[in-house]
Structure 1
Amino acid sequence: MHTAFLMLLIGLFAGTMGAILGIGGGMIITPIITLGMGLPIKYAIGASIIAVIATSSGSTIAFLKDDVLNLRVAMFLELATSIGAIVGALLTGVFNPAILYFLFGCLLLFASWNMVRKLRSGKEVLHRATPDKLAEKLKLNNSYYDKNLHEQVDYEVENVPGGMTIMFGAGLASGLLGIGSGAFKVMALDNVMKMPLKPSSATSNLMMGVTAAASATIYFFNGSIRPDIAVPLSLGIIVGAALGSRIMQHMPSRWLRIIFVPVLAYLGLQMAFKAFGVTI
């Protein structure tokens, strides 16, 4: 009972933060389970997969109801992510993962710096003189009601090929390195395709669940998912994700970026150092 209650609280915290940032709860759950509770990394990975699916399920319902996420962008970009995951799985054992760890780490560090630059400039939505023709043809442009600003925000999507490339890389990282790719999804939507941060986070939440569901079956059958961990964790995450999705919509976008900067910087440094066999 003590372990179940502890997992419930961990799930509540991970689900809340995962829904707010759009990166899943894996980066929160894995160190707690391995370092704090002393469980093998195998079960931490299984719990991380469950966390991503539960966070996606709990938050997507609220984001869909409030029309914050961009469903057309999510479904379109998921094609690139899925293809990348398949290619990554096929390249396992062939390509040197250290190179990818370093490249993806540098990419996340660049995204963190870019967010700092946006914070300094004070610009949240970038308006362009010429709309993106491909985004218009695919009907990817959208709008959402910002509950913090109390106004409807119209936005346009740009650089669709660039976003597709990052999403392919995110899927490649997931399939080849076995890591979560929520940070890459948010980076592609916010930095490359110039979507506002709130719909970027909401759209990332939906996409993560689709990607994680594809690999969950494998982890289930190889015994990485323990019911005594997964069940209370999932219950806490679903409640936390529903709560986090509400909190995120009322937060100023500037606060979201302030939270995002150290998260992306930490993930970037972690991946870059891992390329040289150093764990931080």
Structure 2
Amino acid sequence: MVPPNGYAWWYVDALSDDGQNGITIIAFIGSVFSPYYAFARRNCPADPLNHCAINVAVYSKSGNRWAMTERPRDAVSRASNKFTLGPSSLSWDGNSLVIRIDEIAVPIPRRLRGTIRVVPTAITQQEFTLNESGHHCWWPIAPCARVHVELEQPHLRWQGDGYLDMNRGDAPLESGFSDWQWSRGATRDGAAILYEARQRDGRRIDLAMTFDPQGRMQTFEPPVLQTLNRTGWRVGREVRSEDAPSVLRTLEDAPFYARSVISARLLDEPVMLMHESLSLDRFTMPIVQAMLPFRMPRALR
């Protein structure tokens, strides 16, 4: 259950074995970045099921595609093993998460259609509370996974190492945090995850952990936080690394958010990280809220 004003999202990312392609998929109940949901919360508690979306971002040498259409509760169907939103769905078949996508990309309307299969090597059991009040939680469901991508439009077929997690909360994300940096990368022995968040009261949460293919977790002392070049929108980026990190590719550059592929060194090993930087102070700015509908249209059904 997702309470009024709350949210839940399931996040998948993957990079192809040859490093040429990438994908991220986020299924939202109570879309935390929705301007419509933010407006609905202004005067009274809002229904998160009335603000759902599946965000799909495809990155390839031939061009990127990005879709995030918000839909109301009449377009939502939920069961213990399946989440359907409009023409797209996520389902668990007992061994893998099967994601069927049929969306329209923006800002240039183009079809984004195909199937993505996420095959975890193991499912972890530990959930992490991200603030003392317990309003925001994170569960790294499958830090180690193989992801198989078969898209019809655009025509792409590849596989690579990937990741699946979940975030949930019973309050708006921006009420708990001002910003965060998150990254994950495949290693020789599994995966490494780094999570740094600054809470509204000024306190920080800093997580650094590795997972082996069986889902066993170990924490480690993270290296120093190093500053990277800002994005075109001047979003700040930082990452922990034992030597000088570098931005291999900026995948998303938005007024309040950046997704990047970073070359870093962790635990004496070179690691290619999927990295995100989020500024919730920027997200709440009126001018940014006014810009969001151009990337996040809302459907009637």
Sort the TM-score into its range (normalised by shorter chain): under 0.3
Give the structure, 1 or 2, with the largest relative contact order (CA under 8 Å, sep 6 or more).
Answer: 1
* TM-score normalised by the chain length of structure 2: 0.26
* TM-score normalised by the chain length of structure 1: 0.28
Higher strand share: 2
Higher helix share: 1
